[in-house]
Amino acid sequence: MMIAGRKGQWAIAVVAVLLFAWMHPYNGIRHDGMLYMAQALKHVDPAVFNGDLFFKYGSQDSFSIFGRAYAFAVVTLGVAWSSLAGVLIGQILFVIAVGLLVWRVLPENSRALACCILAVTAGTYGSLSLIHFAEPFFTARTYAEVLVVFGLTLMCRRQLATAAMVCAAAALLHPLMALAGILLCWALAVQRHRGWLWLLALGIPAFVLGYSAVAPFDRAFLFYDAEWRQLVDRYNFVFMTSWPLASWLALLADLALLGALALRQRDAYFSMLLKALFVVGILCVGMALLGSDLLSNVLVTSLQLWRVQWLVHLVALVFLAPELLRAWRGTRLEQLAAALLAYAVLFQDLTTGSLAMLMGLLLLYVGAPRGWHLSRFTLWLSAACLMLAVGYNWWSQAGLTIRMGEYLLGVSALDAADKARILLQQAPVGPLLLGMSAIGLIWCVRRSRTLVGVILIGLVAFTAANWDRRFEITKLVENTPVQGPHVFSDIVPPDAEVYWQGDALAPWLLMHRRSYASGVQAAGLVFNRGTAIELDRRRDVTSTFDMQREICGLLNALRSDKGSCEPDVSSLALTCEADPLLGYIVMPNRFEGWALASWTPGVPEVGRESTLKTYYLYSCAQLIAKSKTINHKAVDAS
C-alpha cells in the first residue's frame, strides 16, 4: 500500500517519526544512563562521589564535557526532569539529523521508506546487542551520534572542513563514538588530496608523549596482565574474540551490506563515501583484533574501535531504501531478496536476521545478475516461511515478556488486556503493525486534509501520552532532591560505603552516598586496573550473601511463599567482617533488633510483593559488635 505524492510521503514520514517514539519509550535512568548520572553527581558533590569505586581510580569522565553539562542540568532541573528532557531532546535532534541525511542523499520516492526502516530497526551493535544508537536513556553517546550524523550530512554536501569541526565537537562529548566520523572525514580528505596522509605524522609526538608517561598517551605502552584481562573478559565485552557467533554475523552482515551498496551506488561521490566508510570499518575491526585481542594493549582496547559498527549500520540502512524499492519492483528472485532484507531490518539483532541479510544480498547482487530463476510457487512458499518466522519471533519475544511480568507480579497469568498491551508494545512487530494501521487509515481518508490532520494529531497525542513508561517507584527515586533530604542521611556519614542489595542507583540518588559494589561500576575496569582488582575483591565480599539471597528467592518462588526462606543475620555479619571499608547494608529483609532504621516508599514496589516494600538499614559496625557479643555468650553458656 502506497500513498502517492509529496504530501503522502510526508504523512508516512510523520508516522515513521511516531513509530520511532513507540520503539524508543522512556523507562527512566537505567543501563549506562546510571553511570552518566553518577558523573553528574560527582560534579555536583565531589567530596562524596570522588571516592566512589567508579571514580576512585579514574574514569572516562575526564575526557568529556558531558558530565559537567549534566551536573548543571541536575542542579537546575532536578534529577528526574534533567534525564527526561535530555532523552527527549536527544531523540528529537537524532530524528532531525537523520531526516536531513535522508533528504540529502536519497531520491524523493524512497525517503519515507528510509525513515520507516530507521524507525523500526533495533540499531544494535557490538557484543550481545547490548548497546544501540539513539538509546532511550540519557548518555553522551546519543548527542555525539547526532553531531556525527550532522557531520555526515555535511560530508555528503562535500563540506569536509565544517564536517570535521562538527565531528571534533562530538569528540568533546564522547570521543569513542565520534572516532568513526572523524576517521571517515579524514578518509574522504585523503581521497581528495593525498597530502592529508601527513596527519599520520601526528603519531610521532603522540609516541613521544606516551613514552614520557603523559596521559592518556601513556596507555600506548600499557598492556593488560593476565589477571586484569581475565577480569575484563568476565565483566565486559570489549575483546572481539569473546563475542558470540550472532554478534560476529551481525557485524559481517553490516559490512557486507555497506560494501554491496558502495559497489551499486550510481552517484560517484556517494559511492566513494560508502567505500571509504567500508575501509574505515574493516581497518577498525582489524586494529581492534590486533591491538586489543592479540596484543592486549590498553589504549587500543580503551578506544573500542569496533564501535565503528554503529555508523556502518546506520549508513547502510539509509542507502538500503532505494535498493529495496527497486528489488520489490523487479523479478520474483529480486522480490524474495527484498523480503529477506526487510526481515533482516526487523530482526537484525537475531542470528536469523543476519543470515537473512547475507542470503538477500547473495540473491540480489549475485543471483539476479546471473539470471537465476525462481518459480511463483517457491516465491509464495518462501514468503509464507518468512511470515511464519516473523510471527514466531514476535510471539516468542512477547511471550518471554509476559512470563517475566507474571513472575514479577506473582500471578499465574496476566489478564487479556495486559497481554494485548504487551503484544502491541513488543518491538519491532507490534509498533510496526500500529504504524501500518495508521498509514492504512490515512490512505482511506487521503482525500480529506482535515481528516488526515485529525488522525496525525491523534497519533501524536497518543504517542506523547504513552512515551513515558516509568514505574511509580522509578519516578519516586528519580524525584529525590539533589540537595536533600535523603533517605537515611541523618544516620549514614557522607563518606560511608553503602551496599544496597540489587540496586546500583539507590545509594547514589536516594541516599546521596557512595555505592560499595554494583555491576554497573564494572564499566570502568576496562580503563583502570585498580578499578578491576578492587571491584572483583568487593564482589567476592558480597558473593556469599548474594548467593544466599538468590537461593532463597528461588526456593520462595517454588514454594509460592515469599517468607519461607530468608538470608540470616550471621551471613550479613560475616559480609561486614570481610571488609572494614563496608559501612552500611540496605536490604528488604528485617532482622528484629538489628536494623538502625527503615524506609518505606510511598508507592508500591515493582515485584512479587503486592504491598509496599520496606527497606532496612544495617550498620556493619553494630552487626559485627552484636554478633561477637552473642557468640561470646554462647561460648560461655556452653
| Euclidean distance between the first and the last CA atom of the chain, given in angstroms as a whole number | 85
Mean of the pLDDT values across residues 17-43? 94
- Reply yes or no on whether the pLDDT at 188 is more than 90: yes
Q: How far apart are CA 146 and CA 170, in angstroms?
A: 8
Residue linked to cell 499465574: 412
Q: Is the pLDDT of residue 575 over 70?
A: yes
Is the separation of the CB atoms in 527 and 58 below 8 Å? yes
Structure confidence by residue, pLDDT tens digits, 79-127: 999 999 999 999 999 999 999 999 999 998 899 999 999 999 989 999 9
Distance between CA atoms of 278 and 295, rounded to whole angstroms? Answer: 24
Q: Are 503 and 30 in contact (CB under 8 A)?
A: no
Least trusted range by pLDDT, from 28-32, 444-448, 611-615: 611-615
For position 310, what pLDDT does the model report? 97
Residue 126 Ramachandran class (φ > 0 left, ψ -120 to 50 alpha, else beta) = left
Confidence tier at 503 by pLDDT (50, 70, 90) = confident
Predicted confidence (pLDDT) per residue in 260-298, tens digit: 999 999 999 999 999 999 999 999 999 999 999 999 999
Percent of the chain residues topping a pLDDT of 90: 70
Lowest mean pLDDT among 158-172, 532-546, 553-567: 553-567
Which one has a higher pLDDT value, 353 or 628? 353
Across 169-188, average pLDDT? 97
Confidence of residue 345 (pLDDT cuts 50, 70, 90): very high
Task: For 369-407, write each residue's pLDDT tens digit.
Answer: 999 999 999 999 999 999 999 999 999 989 888 887 776
What is the reported pLDDT for 607?
A: 47
The answer to whether residue 486 scores a pLDDT higher than 80 is yes
- Cα–Cα dist 461/246, whole Å: 38
pLDDT tens track for 511-545: 999 999 998 999 999 999 999 999 999 999 998 77
Mean pLDDT of the chain: 90
191 or 416, greater pLDDT: 191
- State the average pLDDT over residues 173-185: 97
Q: Is the pLDDT of residue 564 over 60?
A: no
What value does the mean pLDDT take over residues 459-464? 92
7 pLDDT exceeds 70? no
Specify the DSSP element, H or E, that contains 583. strand 582-587
pLDDT at 1: 41
At residue 608 the predicted structure's pLDDT band, cuts being 50, 70 and 90, is very low
**CA 213 to CA 215: how far, in whole Å?**
6
Q: Is 51 helix (H, G, I), strand (E, B) or coil?
A: coil
CA nearest to 557, candidates 401, 403, 414: 403
Instruction: Please tell me the predicted confidence (pLDDT) of residue 89.
Output: 98
Q: According to the model, what pLDDT value does residue 130 have?
A: 85
525: amino acid identity, one letter: L
Q: Does the model's pTM come out above 0.95?
A: no
